[in-house]
Structure 1
Amino acid sequence: MPRRDQRGSAVVDFVLVLVVLVPVFLGILQVALVLLVRNTLAAAASEGARYAATLDRGPADGAARTRQQIGGAISGRFAQDVSARPATVDGAPGVEVVVHATVPALGIGGPGISFTVTGHAVEEQRP
């Protein structure tokens, strides 16, 4: 029985595997990027709310602190829509910092994933 030539079959196998693995890998990277940005924004919003809730500070100070934290950790483009306002936290006066952001596809452009994170803190009271 004559033997068939197997040359070139490794290239075909390689391409067939890549067609499946590349989209899976890129999807995992996108999820990781979104989670990184969301967690960083949530931590910055919480830090800004705690800062704004101290005795001699106000909501504007908390929003500025949140923008500073975001700019230092990831990118200032995610700090464009930051707001802070007085709020009631579990029945006590407090501060709420809200950050709206959109994470583009793989961080380079295209359709993005939008979300909102919020940080709350109870205001300090003078003794």
Structure 2
Amino acid sequence: MRWRPCAGERARGRRHRGRDAERGNAVVEFVLITVILVPLVLGVVQVALVLHVRNTLTAAASEGARHAARADAGLPDGERYARGQASEAIAGRFLDKVVATSSRVDGAETVVLRISAEVPALGLFGPAVRVSVEGHAVEEPR
């Protein structure tokens, strides 16, 4: 009489052979997931960086406009103040223009301060994205 494995032993043997056939799949899966996940994460980080710079420049423009709108200050004072605020927050080499103008809106004299900057699209390097923001303030009577 010849020995034959029972059903449980045959199933275990097949399972063992299946593991050998799948050996090395974890490395391939890791590479495939990493190729998709790393650019996605870096893209989210880059968008966050550009939004942070834009929000920082908006705050600097608003502060500069408020400074220029004071009764004891003028437009050049607001430009200098905004440039100083923006240079503290981001590198000054990225700032392009800081321009303050005065206009009449709904019967009130208003200061409009515009800041233009170029933000590198790849962290601190690479092609730049142009960001332009404005800050507004109503002038105090002199």
Verify same fold: TM over 0.5: yes
Q: Spell out the pairing of 1:4-19 with structure 2 (5 A cutoff).
A: 4=18, 5=20, 6-19=22-35
The equivalent residue for 1:95 is 111
The answer to which of 106-115 and 16-25 deviates more is 106-115
Q: CA deviation at 1:77?
A: 2.2
The equivalent residue for 1:73 is 89
Structure ID, larger Rg: 2
Q: Spell out the pairing of 1:29-108 with structure 2 (5 A cutoff).
A: 29-108=45-124
The answer to which of 112-121 and 69-78 deviates more is 69-78
Q: CA deviation at 1:10?
A: 1.3
Q: CA deviation at 1:101?
A: 1.3
Q: CA deviation at 1:8?
A: 2.1
Aligned length: 126
Percent of aligned positions that are identical? 56
Q: CA deviation at 1:90?
A: 3.5
Any conservation in 2 of the 1:33–1:106 contact (CA below 8 Å)? no
The equivalent residue for 1:119 is 135
Compared CA separation, residues 37 and 124, structure 1 to 2 (3 A): same
Residue 60 of structure 2 aligns to a residue whose secondary structure is helix
Any conservation in 2 of the 1:82–1:98 contact (CA below 8 Å)? yes
The equivalent residue for 2:38 is 22
1:110 and 2:126 matched: yes
* Ranges of 4+ aligned residues in structure 1 off by more than 3 Å: none
What TM-score, normalized to structure 2?
A: 0.81
Q: Cα RMSD (Å) of the superposition? A: 1.6
Structure 2: state its 5+ residue gaps: 1-13
C-alpha separation in 2, matches of 1:61 and 1:114: 25
